[in-house]
Amino acid sequence: MENIGQRIRNYRRRQNLTQGKLAEYLGVTDQAVSKWERAVTRLRNVGKEQRQLL
């Protein structure tokens, strides 16, 4: 079973997005996306609509 970080990474790669582009779309920093993918921190400051995409 995938954790949320793996799901984010797989989604981003399938869409051919960089961490920076995904971060821009979600309104967060690329460092936040990196931390999510590595499961260093949890999703915060992301709207419900954006979470549904992931």
Query: Model confidence over 27-46: pLDDT tens digits?
Result: 889 999 999 899 887 666 56
pLDDT at 24: 93
Instruction: Give CATH for domain 4-53.
Output: 1.10.260.40
Report which of 27, 30, 6 is spatially closest to residue 18, judged by C-alpha positions.
Answer: 30
Please tell me which of 2-6, 32-36, 48-52 the model is most confident about, judged by mean pLDDT: 32-36
Indicate if the pLDDT at residue 14 is higher than 70: yes
* In the chain, where the domains are located: 4-53
pTM exceeds 0.75: no
Indicate if the pLDDT at residue 10 is higher than 90: yes
Cα–Cα distances in angstroms (integers) from residue 47 to residues 1, 2, 3, 34, in the given order = 24, 21, 19, 18
